[in-house]
A and B are shown apart, each in its own frame.
Chain A
């Protein structure tokens, strides 16, 4: 080694340092004088001419560095196969990856697309250069995740669900929340979407739960591949966070922007909480078989990553610029996780809907109960019997739990805003927008639809702001359909034409697997449609009933 060091010294020649290189690269841009660049991506924000502390980045060191990271990832995947990783992997975990990896490549590539939007608005070429690299990073993330998914499909015991992945992503009643997440990056006001929602909140706060906490849980379940890929993905995020902060700082000193920033921080924080905590919380708490009481629960992780690291050290300091931070939303999100059982109710909802999803969910058992009760005192009283019912109803021939009358679960309303159902029943909000009735999981989500995604905000015109569109309530798409027909339409049937892709258990045996015949004869309905059909008085009565919640019947 000494020899090569010496050789290096002799052959070393003066090059240009990173700061100078970045400055020179930044000088590539100019202000057009013949034809102006079209302002295709509108914003209601005012952006100052200079960015604050953009990161120093050049492509000639970027590409080799990224290739090296890739080499480590692909080397590790090969090593995992040589080490027979799948022989010891926990299927309970890998099954949830069918959902997670169906969702995540689209948000990633959407982040790449959204770089066009902030790139055009970037004050200064150094920051624009940062956004160009982020664009290529996000292309990396999207395709490296598609590759991981294919790798699971090829090597895991049950490939069904991975094989239909992008079709399932477009159709499933659970992936709808992931689409809400990703479309938020690429539509509406360019700063709202590509800066505040994507970077200032999603990347800065929530990628830690996504890309750091999840890999740890994967490893506890014998999955060494996911950590390799996602920690590599996460290693790009610090640059993205830096880009986003730089952009934010170029707007924050202008008091004209404060109202919009307060709106967008509120919207973005709450949506990220509602969506990311629902999904990732479920994967981490319910997709694991590891019940080590010394490990952090999702609530504990949330407190560390979101509350301590993000809220206290990133959000709170924004107050010194005169930005009003919604402390109450942060504490309400925390309460939803620790006091109102948000994650547990989401996991319960996903399992109730198993016939219309595309992965297997097995029942939680005694081993799991003890851990839940330890981490979330009172859990057993509320959820223990439910999971026992679920276990009993996992056998073909029983009524599927979605339509089961015995256990006492009541199918929830959808939140029009975050797309997660209104699971904390007492918090449901019903409101009218443009003369139509909608349901929301929380007052924050009602605010998001009614006041934030609108043509004006607190008297100020906001023509650039996005609008909610499409057939947002998934249940409406299959209102009046027979369950078996809906599953066929969703494409959630295995190649034999009758066995369902989803199964409420991990028994890899045809005799135990549900087919279309087992689920036929039940009609799906849209809760919102039914609610809208009621008279105002009956609607109030129905909502009052809903707010009281339901009680799972004692299991015996």
Chain B
């Protein structure tokens, strides 16, 4: 042996310090990326929740008392030949999620602080203040209901990709419910005792205008199928009731009542929804075009659409009297409802199912 070619013992632990089998294998190699290259989101997410059909050699090793495993395909009526196909369109992992949520919190806080500094609330139309108190105050509970329903749903999905998309959906909804709550409380500081911050919950629980919405939300919260919850929220309730109220009412009417703050607060939820919607449409589109179970899934989705659609439509119609409450009337309920129906039609078409005439007519 030639002593001169013997190398000194390896010192550096850095990449490239030596070349040997596998020394260049610097990518997670156990899954198929959706695109040509794996995204950072995929690396953070795919296969973290294991699957006995992929790498979980020993199967799930603790079950529920009734024999259900930790995760089961039976947690939803929908079927898939490949639950692992779905990737969230918004590609959210922790860093992007906190950046976005934190930016929104800062944006809302700035708008509220600056508005309050300039005495904005004193210029709100007096009738409008009561509208915000009663109805925005009631609506915040609907958002909270969606937040807790998705919190429940994120326990059940068959993959990490599905569950994390549902989890961030929950996080957005819960934040927005709190945004509205604290915004109204701060308005109350400036406006004084004429703004009753307890009125919203009373309307939520008792006002006939809100009972359809509450029933629709409670039906979603009470559903035991996690995908039914995710479907009913993003493909049905949000376009027919959530957007109807947020965009079709608050965003459109507020300015005319001298209110430029509320639309800014509510706009965050519209942007949140665009992301949640994109994720949900992607997932349900995949399932509606399943190589093996397309027909089955479309049947299931049509059932959910009919059931939750009827509840949401009823909820939307119940809200009609709100449109006549502001002093300055700049848009009609009929127009807003027509836009909502058009929206749900577009959404379900995108997924690949058809909205029943009762929802779109």
B167 contacts chain A at the CB level, 8 A cutoff: yes
In the complex, the answer to whether A74 meets B95 with C-beta atoms within 8 Å is yes
Determine the residue in chain A with the shortest Cβ distance to B57: A171
- When A116-B155, A157-B14, A163-B29 are in contact, do A30 and B167 touch as well, CB less than 8 Å? no
- When A14-B189, A157-B14 are in contact, do A469 and B151 touch as well, CB less than 8 Å? no
Instruction: Give min CB distance, B62 to chain A, whole Å.
Output: 4
In the complex, the answer to whether B170 meets A135 with C-beta atoms within 8 Å is yes
A179 surroundings in chain B (CB, below 8 A): 50, 58, 61
- When A464-B65, A469-B63 are in contact, do A156 and B13 touch as well, CB less than 8 Å? yes
In the complex, the answer to whether B12 meets A115 with C-beta atoms within 8 Å is no
* A60 touches which of B24, B57, B97, B105 (Cβ 8 Å): B105
Instruction: Give min CB distance, B242 to chain A, whole Å.
Output: 16
- When A113-B163, A157-B17, A184-B62 are in contact, do A30 and B26 touch as well, CB less than 8 Å? no
Report A161-219 residues with CB < 8 Å from chain B CB: 163-171, 176, 179-180, 183-184, 186-189
Question: How many B residues, CB 8 Å from partner?
Answer: 102
In the complex, the answer to whether A495 meets B61 with C-beta atoms within 8 Å is no
In the complex, the answer to whether A63 meets B55 with C-beta atoms within 8 Å is no
Contact with A along B29-63 (1 / 0, CB 8 A): 11100000000100111111111001111111111
Contact with A along B138-169 (1 / 0, CB 8 A): 00110010011001111100001001100110
B65 surroundings in chain A (CB, below 8 A): 42, 188-189, 455, 462-467
A116 surroundings in chain B (CB, below 8 A): 151-155
Determine the residue in chain A with the shortest Cβ distance to B112: A15
B148 surroundings in chain A (CB, below 8 A): 29, 119, 128, 132
**Interface stretch of the complex, out of A33-41, A45-53, A544-552:** A33-41
Instruction: Give the most central of B147, B167, B197: most A CB within 10 Å.
Output: B167
B85 contacts chain A at the CB level, 8 A cutoff: no
Instruction: Give min CB distance, A395 to chain B, whole Å.
Output: 15
**Bound Cα distance from A320 to B163, whole angstroms:** 41
Inter-chain contact total with CB atoms closer than 8 Å: 352
Contact with A along B112-148 (1 / 0, CB 8 A): 0100110000000000000000000000110010011
Q: Which 9 A-B pairs have the closest CB atoms?
A: A170-B55, A494-B22, A160-B22, A35-B222, A116-B155, A67-B102, A86-B14, A499-B21, A470-B59
* A28 touches which of B15, B17, B59, B177 (Cβ 8 Å): B177
**Bound Cα distance from A170 to B56, whole angstroms:** 4
**Bound Cα distance from A455 to B66, whole angstroms:** 10
B47 surroundings in chain A (CB, below 8 A): 166-167, 170
A293 contacts chain B at the CB level, 8 A cutoff: no
Report A374-391 residues with CB < 8 Å from chain B CB: none
**Bound Cα distance from A139 to B160, whole angstroms:** 10
**Bound Cα distance from A494 to B167, whole angstroms:** 36
Instruction: Give min CB distance, A56 to chain B, whole Å.
Output: 13
Instruction: Give min CB distance, B110 to chain A, whole Å.
Output: 12
A112 contacts chain B at the CB level, 8 A cutoff: yes
Contact with B along A6-19 (1 / 0, CB 8 A): 00000101111000
**Bound Cα distance from A471 to B69, whole angstroms:** 13
* B15 touches which of A106, A115, A157 (Cβ 8 Å): A157
Chain A contacts to B: CB under 8 angstroms: 11, 13-16, 20-21, 24-25, 27-30, 32-38, 40-42, 58-61, 63-64, 66-67, 70, 74, 84, 86-91, 94, 105-106, 109, 112-117, 119-120, 128-129, 132, 135-136, 139-144, 146-147, 150, 153-160, 163-171, 176, 179-180, 183-184, 186-189, 222, 419, 453, 455, 462-472, 474, 477, 491, 494-496, 498-499, 501, 506-510, 513
* A144 touches which of B24, B94, B215 (Cβ 8 Å): B94
In the complex, the answer to whether A59 meets B178 with C-beta atoms within 8 Å is yes
In the complex, the answer to whether B48 meets A187 with C-beta atoms within 8 Å is no
Instruction: Give the most central of B23, B43, B65, B102: most A CB within 10 Å.
Output: B65
In the complex, the answer to whether B215 meets A35 with C-beta atoms within 8 Å is yes
B50 surroundings in chain A (CB, below 8 A): 106, 166, 169-170, 179
In the complex, the answer to whether B102 meets A132 with C-beta atoms within 8 Å is no
**Bound Cα distance from A88 to B12, whole angstroms:** 6
In the complex, the answer to whether B29 meets A42 with C-beta atoms within 8 Å is no
- When A159-B22, A470-B61 are in contact, do A64 and B102 touch as well, CB less than 8 Å? yes
Chain B contacts to A: CB under 8 angstroms: 10-18, 20-31, 40, 43-51, 54-67, 69-70, 93-95, 97-99, 101-102, 104-106, 108-109, 113, 116-117, 140-141, 144, 147-148, 151-155, 160, 163-164, 167-168, 170-171, 174-175, 177-179, 181-182, 185-186, 189, 197, 201, 204-205, 214-215, 218-219, 221-224
Determine the residue in chain B with the shortest Cβ distance to A36: B222
B61 surroundings in chain A (CB, below 8 A): 176, 179-180, 183, 419, 468-472
- When A163-B26, A494-B25 are in contact, do A24 and B13 touch as well, CB less than 8 Å? no
B222 surroundings in chain A (CB, below 8 A): 32, 35-38
Instruction: Give the most central of A20, A30, A58, A498: most B CB within 10 Å.
Output: A30
In the complex, the answer to whether B167 meets A508 with C-beta atoms within 8 Å is no
In the complex, the answer to whether A187 meets B63 with C-beta atoms within 8 Å is yes
Instruction: Pick 30 A–B contacts, CB within 8 A, sort by A.
Output: A24-B197, A25-B177, A28-B140, A34-B219, A37-B222, A40-B224, A74-B95, A84-B14, A87-B13, A91-B10, A105-B48, A119-B148, A119-B152, A132-B151, A135-B151, A135-B171, A136-B97, A142-B48, A147-B95, A153-B27, A156-B13, A157-B18, A164-B28, A166-B47, A176-B58, A184-B62, A187-B64, A455-B65, A477-B57, A495-B25
**Bound Cα distance from A179 to B153, whole angstroms:** 22
**Bound Cα distance from A40 to B151, whole angstroms:** 13
**6 additional A-B residue pairs with CB within 8 Å, beyond A159-B15, A464-B65, A468-B63:** A59-B174, A89-B13, A105-B48, A113-B154, A140-B94, A464-B64
